[in-house]
Amino acid sequence: MTRLEGEQVTIGYGDNVIVDQLDVHIPTGKITSIIGPNGCGKSTLLKALSRLLPIKGGEIKLDGEDLHAQSTKEVAKKIAILPQSPEVADGLTVGELVSYGRFPHQKGFGRLSAEDKKEIDWAMTVTGTYEFRLRPINDLSGGQRQRVWIAMALAQRTDIIFLDEPTTYLDISHQLEILELITQLNEEQGCTIIMVLHDINQAVRFSDHLITMKQGDIVADGDTEEVLTKEILEKVFNIDVEISTDPRTGKPMLVTYDLCRKSYSEV
């Protein structure tokens, strides 16, 4: 069963249409990465699927019902979102930020229950941030802050997590740390993960399913082996690639690439 899907979805900003009449299906229980050139609509699609951005046409369904017809609090019990470059108020501690993830489950005056505190501690423990719980967020490194934001998403206890470029501005070791944590959440907690990534090799290595976009349209989607082909990458990125097999994962990987002499902008 596909819990999240869009039919004939049109998305844009003002009069500018970015995505026009797009069909998209997110595999349940899998890690899906959306890849494509800058400005192709990756983040726009992710924002629409997570209800951060209203749609202009079509329908997005969550559990068989119109996503936009469901209450915000009910959606927040099913979907958690880690936006691009999230900001936080000065002085806010790790524990305080993670506790915000319990908002959809709170009643009355919003006091944290024993169950809320248990979930908050669990989320910080799983993400390796419990030792930072009393420290201000802004005192942490970029990789540590990303783990805290993921902990807040986990505290919501949702089955679906969206991440918009979660490795941006991180060095390679912290990028791997975040992507391995995401993989762990998928494997151990059964979370459906949807993320936007720029690094194609990372997207292939850490995903089960790829959605490849160009100019607001889906050029290809499917298993990583189906999508990472010379022909598709030439069409989407206008690059001439050499593809081999990753000796550690057995998945395809880009070895080297050059700009194509032929332009695929009209293909």
What per-residue confidence (pLDDT) applies to 267?
Answer: 47
Q: Side by side, which strands form the sheet with 57-62?
A: 16-26, 4-13, 57-62, 65-66
Any domain includes 17: yes
Indicate the average pLDDT of the chain: 93
Q: Which domain holds residue 17?
A: 1-78+160-174+184-229
- CATH number of the domain encompassing residue 17: 3.40.50.300
Task: Evaluate whether residue 38 is within a structural domain.
Answer: yes
Which of 256, 46, 73 lies closest to 164, judged by CA? 46
Q: What is the mean pLDDT of residues 97-101?
A: 94
Q: Domain check: are 190 and 67 in the same one?
A: yes
Same domain, 62 and 83: no
Let me know whether 129 and 165 are in one domain.
no
Residues in the chain: 267
Query: Both tokens of residue 97?
Result: 């930020």
Q: Computed from CA positions of residues 61, 64, 70, 74, in that sequence, does the dihedral angle turn out positive or negative?
A: negative
Predicted confidence at residue 87, as pLDDT, reads: 79
Amino acid at 201: N
**Is the sign of the CA dihedral 176, 100, 188, 250 positive or negative?**
negative
DSSP 3-state assignment of 53? coil
C-alpha dihedral (34, 36, 40, 44), degrees to nearest 10: 20
Q: CA–CA separation, 23 vs 21, rounded Å?
A: 7
Give 22's pLDDT tier (boundaries 50, 70, 90): very high
Residues 132 and 190 in one domain: no
* Radius of gyration, alpha carbons of the chain: 19
- The pLDDT value given to residue 205: 97
Q: Are residues 23 and 73 in the same domain?
A: yes
Considering its fold, how many domains does the chain have in total?
2
Pairing relation of β-strands 31-35 and 192-196?
parallel
Predicted pLDDT of residue 243 = 97
One domain for residues 90 and 71? no
Q: What is the pLDDT of residues 123-172, one digit of tens each?
A: 999 999 999 999 999 999 988 999 999 999 999 999 999 999 999 888 99
- Cα dist from 174 to 97, 142, 178, 191, 203, whole Å: 21, 8, 6, 21, 15
CA 61 to chain centre: 18
Q: Would strands 239-245 and 252-259 be described as parallel, antiparallel, or unpaired? A: antiparallel
- Is residue 261's pLDDT more than 80? no
4 and 98 inside one domain: no
DSSP structural state of residue 112: P
Q: For 148, phi and psi rounded to 5 degrees? A: -65, -45
